[in-house]
Amino acid sequence: MPTCLPLVRRRCHSCASELFRPSGKFRVNANHKLIDAWLLVLCTGCGVTAKLTLLERVTVRSIRPELLDLLHHNDPGLTAALLQDPVVQRRNRIALDWDDAWRLDTDGSEHLDRETIDVAVRFAARIPVRPVRLIADGLGLSRAEVDRLITEGKIVSAVRLSGKLSGDFTFTLKR
């Protein structure tokens, strides 16, 4: 689950940095009946502000009043949701950097000594993580041990456990 907002990967035009921090602020411009809205992000290198486009010349009537309200009040939940919105990411050509912005919660180590355990992993946000890392952390094993258990067929899953995942999965551990 997320512990804070992720950073935004985007090249800064003023310095060499490629990471921006969400400012928590929106800017809304109303021109006659058309509205533009941006999410403001700050360069982690030089502090310059960049604008991520959310709405571009959209008619007031087509926007849900609740959304306008959240934009005007710089709602933190809205920042989190919009940063993860694939449409916003594509439009602004950004990706998210989740390093140090999430944590793994487990039910504890009570059942880990059983011969066979089935484990369900749920993502509270679409955070790309290596399953091997999650399994190692959750089971208190090294990543090398988890790799070995996968190779030996003692950890099995319907999904590929190599590479990264950002959605729910289950696996079975057989001792």
- Binder among 46, 81, 95, 124 for Zn ion (CB under 5 A): 46
Minimal distance in Å, beta carbon 36 to Zn ion? 23
Residues touching Zn ion, count (CB under 5 A): 8
37 neighbors 59 (Cβ within 8 angstroms)? no
- Binder among 4, 14, 73, 175 for Zn ion (CB under 5 A): 14
How many beta carbons lie within 10 A of that of residue 104, not counting itself?
12
Minimal distance in Å, beta carbon 7 to Zn ion? 13
Minimal distance in Å, beta carbon 8 to Zn ion? 12
Q: Using CA atoms, how far apart are residues 16 and 90, in angstroms rounded to an integer?
A: 22
Q: Using CA atoms, how far apart are residues 98 and 102, in angstroms rounded to an integer?
A: 7
17 is a site residue for Zn ion (CB under 5 A): yes
Residues 6+ apart with CB under 8 A from 48: 12, 13, 14, 15, 42
Binding site for Zn ion (CB under 5 A): 12, 14-15, 17, 43, 45-46, 48
